[in-house]
């Protein structure tokens, strides 16, 4: 019996040794971001519902990976973003995360300069297609939601849920003329879906003042509703405006259910708007991942020479059926 036990034990040890030998490739897990400095250009102002969640994701990644993160805020000003980008290159971090809002004409030479200095650049929200191809091998990737597609899907969802068609009216309050290549395509997608269904679409461009402070849009929406009392739907193509949408409707004297609201990016205010009946649906592009995965992208490129990744985080709608499952995460600054 003792001999049998010894033989069995020896076989177990041998099998474990072989298994270890077969699965051990000499890789020692490391803190992938250790020694890496990343400058994250946050796009919006401090406190912005959308940008704050993106930055929360970046900070979580920096914590998990062990890298140093420097966050630079702006007011969604394209001019400021260009200045911040140039200053980031001059500071010579290991990597830079930047929104694609400046467009390739303005940002392209800055990207070229950054790469020539050994800085890995990756974009979020809106990409730089030419430079993603040019510098993909150097780690230039993109994390975001395909803008036209999600705009179209939100518009189609609203049409389907509300039964909209000929004789109905909608307002799209968006960024069609922002001057950012690609960004306005989300607004275009919303409009296309509505017009395809035969809905009469009115359009208002979000001004710079409202872009920076969405509460400045209260008189704009109130005046529109007063002039168009037959409006059935208002879509706001901006996370900050969507969070303020219930305030717009309340200020105009609209009761829940009288005019449907829809927009982008879950926030505590948007979740409450869904509960109250002011917001039909909000498209969730999971912007926490924009911050997290862009930081991870740079660390992967710096430590392991991985190429740039093109990641679409567009998830789907938040509506009354699932808002409670996501509301706590929105309160925590994750969704």
Tokens of 248: 């717009």
Phi-psi region of 67 (alpha: psi -120 to 50; beta: other; left: phi over 0): beta
Read out DSSP for 272-285? Answer: HHHHHTSEEEEEE-
Separation CA 196–CA 198 (nearest Å): 5
Q: Give the model's pLDDT for residue 212.
A: 85
Q: Where would I find the H helices in the chain?
A: 2-23, 49-65, 78-91, 103-116, 129-134, 147-162, 185-196, 208-212, 218-227, 239-251, 268-276, 288-304, 323-331
Cα within 13 Å of Cα(157), Cβ side? 21
Let me know if the fold of 37-145+287-314 is the same as that of 147-284: yes
Domain segments of the chain as ranges: 37-145+287-314, 147-284
Class of 37-145+287-314 in CATH: alpha beta
pLDDT of residue 178: 56
Res 183 pLDDT > 90: no
pLDDT given at position 315? 82
**Does residue 131 carry a pLDDT above 90?**
yes
The model's pLDDT over 44-98, given as tens digits with 9 standing for 90+, comes to 999 888 899 999 999 999 999 999 999 999 888 889 999 999 999 999 999 999 9
Mean pLDDT of the residues in the chain: 91
Q: pLDDT by residue (tens digit) across 13-39?
A: 444 454 454 455 677 888 999 999 999
To the question of domain 147-284 being in CATH 3.30.450.20, the answer is no
The string of pLDDT tens digits covering residues 250-265 is 999 999 999 999 999 9
Tell me the pLDDT tens digit for each residue of 290-313. 999 999 999 999 999 999 999 999
Residue 7 has pLDDT above 80, yes or no: no
pLDDT above 50 for 159? yes
């Amino acid at each position: 019996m003792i001999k049998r036990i010894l033989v069995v034990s020896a076989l177990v040890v041998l099998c474990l040794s072989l298994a270890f030998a077969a699965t051990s490739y000499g890789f020692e897990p490391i803190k992938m971001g250790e020694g890496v400095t990343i400058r994250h250009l946050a796009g919006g102002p401090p406190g912005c519902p959308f940008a704050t969640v993106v930055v929360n994701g970046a900070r979580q990644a920096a914590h998990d990976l062990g890298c140093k993160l420097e966050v630079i805020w702006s007011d969604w000003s394209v001019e400021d973003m260009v200045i911040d980008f140039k200053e980031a290159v001059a500071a010579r971090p290991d990597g830079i995360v930047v929104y694609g809002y400046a467009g390739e004409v303005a940002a392209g030479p800055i990207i070229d300069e950054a790469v020539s200095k050994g800085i890995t650049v990756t974009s979020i929200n809106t990409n730089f297609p030419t430079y993603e191809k040019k510098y993909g091998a150097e780690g230039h990737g993109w994390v975001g939601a395909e803008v036209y597609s999600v705009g179209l899907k939100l518009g189609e969802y609203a049409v389907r849920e509300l039964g909209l068609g000929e004789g109905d009216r909608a307002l799209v309050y968006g960024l069609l003329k922002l001057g950012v290549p690609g960004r306005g395509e989300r607004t275009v997608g919303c409009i296309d879906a509505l017009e395809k269904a035969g809905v009469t679409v009115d359009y208002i461009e979000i001004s710079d003042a409202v872009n920076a402070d969405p509460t400045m849009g209260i008189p704009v929406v109130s005046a529109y509703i007063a002039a168009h009392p037959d409006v059935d739907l208002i879509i706001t193509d901006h996370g900050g405006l969507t969070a303020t949408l219930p305030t717009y409707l309340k200020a105009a004297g609209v009761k829940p259910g009288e005019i449907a609201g829809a927009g982008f990016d879950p926030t505590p205010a948007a979740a409450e708007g869904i509960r109250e009946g002011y917001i039909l649906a909000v498209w969730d592009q999971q912007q926490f991942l924009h911050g997290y995965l862009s930081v991870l992208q740079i660390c992967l490129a710096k430590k392991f020479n991985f190429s740039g990744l093109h990641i679409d985080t567009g998830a789907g709608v938040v509506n009354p059926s699932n808002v409670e499952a996501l509301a706590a995460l929105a309160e925590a600054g994750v969704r």
